[in-house]
Amino acid sequence: MYVMTTANAPLPTAAPAPLWARRAAHAIALCAVPSGLWRIAMASGVHVGYSDQVLRDVFDIPGWGIAYVVGLSVLAELAALFPLLLVSDRWRPLRPGALAALAWTASGVLVLVALWQLVVAFTVESQTYMSSGTAQTVWGIAFAPLFAIPALMTAVTWSYAKRHRARG
Protein backbone atom coordinates (compact mmCIF):
# COMPACT_ATOMS: atom_id res chain seq x y z
CA MET A 1 0.00 0.00 0.00
CA TYR A 2 1.35 3.41 -0.95
CA VAL A 3 0.85 6.21 1.54
CA MET A 4 1.61 9.77 0.49
CA THR A 5 3.49 11.71 3.11
CA THR A 6 4.83 15.23 3.15
CA ALA A 7 8.26 13.95 2.14
CA ASN A 8 7.09 12.37 -1.10
CA ALA A 9 4.12 14.60 -1.90
CA PRO A 10 4.43 16.29 -5.29
CA LEU A 11 4.94 20.03 -5.23
CA PRO A 12 1.92 21.98 -6.40
CA THR A 13 2.59 23.52 -9.77
CA ALA A 14 2.75 27.24 -10.27
CA ALA A 15 1.76 29.16 -13.34
CA PRO A 16 4.39 29.02 -16.07
CA ALA A 17 6.86 31.88 -16.25
CA PRO A 18 5.76 34.72 -18.50
CA LEU A 19 7.54 35.11 -21.82
CA TRP A 20 9.27 38.33 -20.75
CA ALA A 21 10.76 36.56 -17.69
CA ARG A 22 12.02 33.68 -19.84
CA ARG A 23 13.63 36.14 -22.25
CA ALA A 24 15.18 38.10 -19.38
CA ALA A 25 16.64 34.91 -17.87
CA HIS A 26 18.20 33.99 -21.21
CA ALA A 27 19.46 37.57 -21.65
CA ILE A 28 21.28 37.31 -18.31
CA ALA A 29 23.18 34.27 -19.58
CA LEU A 30 24.08 36.15 -22.76
CA CYS A 31 25.18 39.29 -20.89
CA ALA A 32 28.05 37.38 -19.29
CA VAL A 33 29.47 36.12 -22.60
CA PRO A 34 31.36 39.22 -23.90
CA SER A 35 33.35 39.75 -20.70
CA GLY A 36 34.09 36.03 -20.51
CA LEU A 37 35.39 36.00 -24.07
CA TRP A 38 37.49 39.09 -23.31
CA ARG A 39 39.03 37.37 -20.28
CA ILE A 40 39.70 34.16 -22.23
CA ALA A 41 41.34 36.21 -24.98
CA MET A 42 43.54 37.84 -22.33
CA ALA A 43 44.46 34.43 -20.90
CA SER A 44 45.24 33.16 -24.41
CA GLY A 45 47.78 35.90 -25.02
CA VAL A 46 45.66 38.07 -27.31
CA HIS A 47 46.52 41.73 -26.87
CA VAL A 48 43.51 43.20 -25.04
CA GLY A 49 45.09 46.49 -24.05
CA TYR A 50 47.55 45.38 -21.38
CA SER A 51 51.27 45.37 -21.94
CA ASP A 52 53.18 42.12 -21.56
CA GLN A 53 54.72 43.48 -18.35
CA VAL A 54 51.29 44.23 -16.82
CA LEU A 55 50.05 40.76 -17.79
CA ARG A 56 53.09 39.19 -16.09
CA ASP A 57 53.33 41.41 -13.02
CA VAL A 58 49.68 42.17 -12.24
CA PHE A 59 47.75 39.22 -13.66
CA ASP A 60 50.48 36.51 -13.56
CA ILE A 61 49.92 35.58 -17.22
CA PRO A 62 51.51 33.30 -18.28
CA GLY A 63 51.26 31.39 -15.05
CA TRP A 64 48.53 30.82 -12.49
CA GLY A 65 46.72 33.89 -13.73
CA ILE A 66 45.51 31.91 -16.74
CA ALA A 67 43.68 29.43 -14.50
CA TYR A 68 42.26 32.31 -12.45
CA VAL A 69 41.00 34.28 -15.45
CA VAL A 70 39.53 31.26 -17.26
CA GLY A 71 38.04 29.95 -13.99
CA LEU A 72 36.47 33.35 -13.34
CA SER A 73 34.93 33.32 -16.81
CA VAL A 74 33.49 29.83 -16.31
CA LEU A 75 32.21 30.68 -12.84
CA ALA A 76 30.59 33.90 -14.08
CA GLU A 77 28.82 32.07 -16.90
CA LEU A 78 27.60 29.31 -14.57
CA ALA A 79 26.25 31.96 -12.20
CA ALA A 80 24.57 33.69 -15.14
CA LEU A 81 22.71 30.44 -15.88
CA PHE A 82 21.11 30.43 -12.39
CA PRO A 83 18.09 32.56 -13.44
CA LEU A 84 17.11 29.82 -15.87
CA LEU A 85 16.11 27.78 -12.80
CA LEU A 86 13.59 30.48 -11.93
CA VAL A 87 11.78 30.13 -15.26
CA SER A 88 12.14 26.37 -15.65
CA ASP A 89 9.06 24.21 -15.34
CA ARG A 90 11.02 20.95 -15.38
CA TRP A 91 13.82 21.02 -12.85
CA ARG A 92 13.58 22.36 -9.30
CA PRO A 93 16.57 21.59 -7.10
CA LEU A 94 15.11 23.46 -4.10
CA ARG A 95 11.70 24.20 -2.66
CA PRO A 96 10.19 27.37 -4.16
CA GLY A 97 10.53 29.36 -0.94
CA ALA A 98 14.21 28.49 -0.57
CA LEU A 99 14.90 29.19 -4.23
CA ALA A 100 13.11 32.55 -3.99
CA ALA A 101 15.17 33.52 -0.92
CA LEU A 102 18.37 32.52 -2.71
CA ALA A 103 17.33 34.48 -5.80
CA TRP A 104 16.53 37.63 -3.76
CA THR A 105 19.91 37.32 -2.07
CA ALA A 106 21.64 36.93 -5.43
CA SER A 107 19.80 39.98 -6.77
CA GLY A 108 20.94 42.09 -3.84
CA VAL A 109 24.52 40.92 -4.17
CA LEU A 110 24.48 41.65 -7.91
CA VAL A 111 23.32 45.22 -7.28
CA LEU A 112 26.14 45.75 -4.78
CA VAL A 113 28.72 44.19 -7.12
CA ALA A 114 27.55 46.37 -10.01
CA LEU A 115 27.87 49.50 -7.89
CA TRP A 116 31.32 48.41 -6.76
CA GLN A 117 32.40 47.72 -10.34
CA LEU A 118 31.36 51.24 -11.34
CA VAL A 119 33.64 52.59 -8.63
CA VAL A 120 36.51 50.35 -9.76
CA ALA A 121 36.00 51.15 -13.46
CA PHE A 122 36.33 54.87 -12.90
CA THR A 123 39.26 54.91 -10.50
CA VAL A 124 42.67 55.99 -11.66
CA GLU A 125 44.15 52.66 -10.51
CA SER A 126 42.12 50.56 -12.95
CA GLN A 127 42.72 52.91 -15.87
CA THR A 128 46.50 53.12 -15.51
CA TYR A 129 47.12 49.57 -16.76
CA MET A 130 45.40 49.95 -20.15
CA SER A 131 47.75 50.96 -22.94
CA SER A 132 45.33 53.14 -24.92
CA GLY A 133 41.92 54.74 -25.05
CA THR A 134 40.88 52.18 -27.67
CA ALA A 135 41.69 49.35 -25.27
CA GLN A 136 39.59 51.01 -22.58
CA THR A 137 36.71 51.38 -25.04
CA VAL A 138 36.88 47.70 -26.01
CA TRP A 139 37.04 46.77 -22.33
CA GLY A 140 34.01 48.97 -21.63
CA ILE A 141 32.02 47.41 -24.47
CA ALA A 142 32.89 43.90 -23.28
CA PHE A 143 31.90 44.59 -19.68
CA ALA A 144 28.92 46.94 -20.23
CA PRO A 145 26.34 44.14 -20.59
CA LEU A 146 27.16 43.00 -17.05
CA PHE A 147 25.45 46.13 -15.72
CA ALA A 148 22.10 44.95 -17.10
CA ILE A 149 22.24 41.74 -15.05
CA PRO A 150 21.13 43.16 -11.66
CA ALA A 151 17.97 44.72 -13.10
CA LEU A 152 17.16 41.64 -15.17
CA MET A 153 17.82 39.31 -12.23
CA THR A 154 15.59 41.39 -9.95
CA ALA A 155 12.77 41.28 -12.52
CA VAL A 156 13.06 37.51 -12.99
CA THR A 157 13.21 36.99 -9.22
CA TRP A 158 10.15 39.18 -8.70
CA SER A 159 8.25 37.18 -11.33
CA TYR A 160 9.26 33.89 -9.71
CA ALA A 161 8.31 35.04 -6.21
CA LYS A 162 4.98 36.43 -7.43
CA ARG A 163 4.07 33.21 -9.23
CA HIS A 164 4.93 31.01 -6.29
CA ARG A 165 3.36 33.30 -3.68
CA ALA A 166 0.09 33.34 -5.62
CA ARG A 167 0.16 29.55 -5.69
CA GLY A 168 0.60 29.25 -1.93
Q: CA 166, CA 168: separation in Å to the nearest integer?
A: 6
pLDDT at residue 137, rounded to an integer: 84
Question: Helix, strand or coil for residue 6?
Answer: coil
* CB 38 within 8 Å of CB 145: no
Q: Which residues, at least 6 apart from 163, have a Cβ–Cβ distance to it below 8 Å?
A: 14, 15, 17
pLDDT at residue 136, rounded to an integer: 81
| Residue 19 in this model has a pLDDT that exceeds 90 | yes
| Residue 87 in this model has a pLDDT that exceeds 70 | yes
pLDDT band at residue 116 using 50, 70 and 90 as cut-offs: confident
Specify burial of residue 28 (Cβ count, 10 A radius: 0-12, 13-18, 19+). buried
pLDDT at residue 165, rounded to an integer: 79
Residues 144-153: what's their mean pLDDT? Answer: 91
pLDDT at residue 2, rounded to an integer: 60
Dihedral of the alpha carbons of 54, 48, 71, 63, in degrees to the nearest 10: -40
94 vs 35 pLDDT, higher one: 35
157 vs 12 pLDDT, higher one: 157
pLDDT at residue 59, rounded to an integer: 83
pLDDT at residue 145, rounded to an integer: 92
pLDDT at residue 115, rounded to an integer: 82
Provide, rounded to the nearest whole percent, the portion of the chain with pLDDT above 70: 84
Q: CA 153, CA 155: separation in Å to the nearest integer?
A: 5
| Residue 106 in this model has a pLDDT that exceeds 80 | yes
